[in-house]
Amino acid sequence: MKSHAAPHAARRSLIACHVCRLLVQTPAHHAHTRLRCPRCRASLHARKPHSIARTWALLIAALIFYLPANTLPIMTITSLGQTQSDTIMSGVIYLLLHGMWPLALLVFFASVVVPLLKLIVLMFLLISVQCGSRWRPYERTRLYHITESVGRWSMDQSR
């Protein structure tokens, strides 16, 4: 569900199943009852349980793996008995030294800058949500959607 649909669904007492995405009408007296999806029998929640803690764990893991991802070899070539290992940065430097600066910039931005910016933005958004900030909610939602759309392959789409 996109951010536009969530308030309307909540006002209509609808909850989306996180497994099969079925929209389920919630009864008025569901406060203490455990709801299950009629299609897949998964537990229904208005929000994913422990989502902030899980997001922090994933963000911390991403930060931990960011440095090795950019400094460890991503490619090893053996040619005529000689082995050469390359990291992302050595690849960027190679491309620059051989006059392929547009490709070097593309690789540098796509592999180094964009992931780092995404981590910074996600950290900012997480802190603002955890602190209960009411500062510019529309802009923060928009920032999240921009971050999600830049490199969608690197974000979990199983919401």
Bridge partners (DSSP) of residue 43 are 36
Q: Is residue 125 domain-shared with residue 156, that is, in the same domain?
A: yes
Q: Is residue 146 domain-shared with residue 98, that is, in the same domain?
A: yes
Q: Is residue 37 domain-shared with residue 61, that is, in the same domain?
A: no
Whole-number Å distance between alpha carbons of 148 and 20: 21
Q: Is residue 108 domain-shared with residue 151, that is, in the same domain?
A: yes
Whole-number Å distance between alpha carbons of 37 and 25: 10
Confidence check: pLDDT of 1 > 80: no
Q: Could you tell me the pLDDT band of residue 2, with boundaries at 50, 70 and 90?
A: very low
Q: Identify whether the C-beta of residue 65 lies closer than 8 Å to the C-beta of residue 48.
A: no
Domain span at 31: 1-49
Mean model confidence pLDDT for the chain: 82
Q: Identify whether the C-beta of residue 1 lies closer than 8 Å to the C-beta of residue 23.
A: no
pLDDT at 147: 84
Q: Could you tell me the pLDDT band of residue 27, with boundaries at 50, 70 and 90?
A: confident
Q: Is residue 99 domain-shared with residue 156, that is, in the same domain?
A: yes
CA dihedral for 6, 54, 120, 134, sign (positive or negative)? positive
Q: Identify whether the C-beta of residue 76 lies closer than 8 Å to the C-beta of residue 85.
A: yes
Instruction: Please name the amino acid found at residue 21.
Output: R
Positions of E strands within the chain: 14-16, 23-25, 75-79, 82-86
pLDDT digits (tens, 9 = 90+) for 60-93: 999 999 988 888 888 877 778 888 888 888 889 9
pLDDT at 44: 85
Residue 26, C-beta contacts closer than 8 angstroms, at least 6 positions apart: 13, 14, 15, 35, 44
Whole-number Å distance between alpha carbons of 11 and 15: 10
Q: Is residue 44 domain-shared with residue 89, that is, in the same domain?
A: no
Q: Is residue 25 domain-shared with residue 78, that is, in the same domain?
A: no
Whole-number Å distance between alpha carbons of 36 and 155: 27
Q: Is residue 77 domain-shared with residue 11, that is, in the same domain?
A: no
Pairing of strands 23-25, 82-86: unpaired
Q: Could you tell me the pLDDT band of residue 157, with boundaries at 50, 70 and 90?
A: very low
When divided into structural domains, the chain yields a total of 2
Single pTM value for the model: 0.67
Residue range 29-48: mean pLDDT, rounded? 79
How many CB atoms neighbour CB 15 within 10 A? 19
Per the model's pLDDT, the better-predicted residue between 58 and 132 turns out to be 58
pLDDT digits (tens, 9 = 90+) for 113-133: 889 999 999 999 999 988 888
Q: Could you tell me the pLDDT band of residue 57, with boundaries at 50, 70 and 90?
A: very high
